[in-house]
A and B are shown apart, each in its own frame.
Chain A
């Protein structure tokens, strides 16, 4: 077996693999070419800056994680390190795995940076965060960049009841950086059969206060913003403007229509969940990308036609299931991974233990987001469960 020095090995490897210059990589990025860019340097090097939207996989983990990132063996993969040596060795290794179109960028990140080409930089995790979110970091679809996205996200939860409790709990655990809580209600002992973010000692206290304390104990890194007020047309736009995503876990139609209309007007995704006894619905209304609530139900049902949980009861576990589907969809929206429920409705039947999803199109005649909208301002459906449904 030939004995090679490290220099000889590198020279041999670089002669055997395909290399491109940093100028060529720059052109490929500018052209929007379809390829996978991987930064193979170590964590501390990556933290100093990286190229484009490179995925960070340290050299030592490359063979273990590349298939999760790109299973297609014929996909073009461009690797870079600091100076073109480690990425050359890495390219050789990927070729041995059967990847047919692997390229190493010759000058590496240092050459790129020294040439004055654009360097991306993002918030990185501190040691404590890296430990807390370690089970996220090793998931290829999340990783450090995904966790940073979660930490930098701002999510508004409308309601901290049956649906809001599990959503808020898990979103806080996942590290959502800012959680807004809207609820004007106080904790009642009858809530505790399902509203798990509150405890027996919280009875009589404002729900937003009780929920904030639970969240702070679970994850002190989360900033909780309390909105202890009823959502109405006068305050909703001002409240939602600071958030990226709205999670609708309220318990009445008037608020659901208000949240939908405000989210469409503000262009915010609205993660919807609703429940009744043993049945639950979940979907995502994403303005511009799919239908809104009014595409499904143009107007609220007749007053009194639909009993509330207070009147009809609900299996205590049910909002847990639906609330966590909402939390899951919220995280997917933040991360930009997977197929969300945009344009689809999920129906859950706890008695039959069946989930079914079906596509729902955007309605061209929708009074809010259709071709000739008739709703141009927010509507307060006052006293909805009572007698009149105003506006419309």
Chain B
């Protein structure tokens, strides 16, 4: 009996020591995530995204990429971020004026392309989102988009061994929460830099504009297009009313929704013109299907209301020849390498 107790006691001691040490061993075996340096394209301003609060790592970006293409972020599994942000459309919605959401619904706005987000401090056409990390929560919970609750998404990810592994690799342990999910999505999205168009190559001395492209670029600047679509992002990130007629079937007061300020009525964030051959239809509600239609609006269609922008109030005089040249220039803003970059495509 005595002997039995001794053995039992020894075994217990060993077990206790093993259990007590085990947690430490586990922590040690997780390799630290591999840091990535965010490179700023030549001649660009410093990004505004707060990298110190969310340092970029290879594992964080991988996790974010998986989440971006993950159907579990939506109620029925069919609406990952990528369903409305398609790579071949520079991460806008190809061909659709309004995006398609859960249960046969439409959004009320045209999905913007996702690129160069590290230079944006507010998100959405009305600027209602104050931080990139917070942005995914909006489509995720909107009934006409992904229609899911944050709690359900987190629970689905926690139940998935693949994500427990990916979160551990990115953040050091298996904790899955809203903050980590959105940080990983941000890490992936800020790496989506589009700065490799013909325009960029010309700026870097690696290519030259053709004559129509050069004439178009000159017109782009002399006609004042660049005052709002400011280089190098081709947006000054401001909110402006470009004098579009109100669509009675889809009334949207834009920035005023957020600020409740009448001076902001009908103002929308100036979209980047980069990749615009891929991001049609155009305008905040996707009402215009071609670049010609947009240029015609600025030439003849602007409606002057109390908040119509002073830069377009007198319309923009453009000849047909000039429109052709401006278009030739705008086509140089397409970044084919970006839309074909396998680092941004659906993970296998």
Partners in one complex: no
Residues of B at the A interface (CB closer than 8 Å) are none
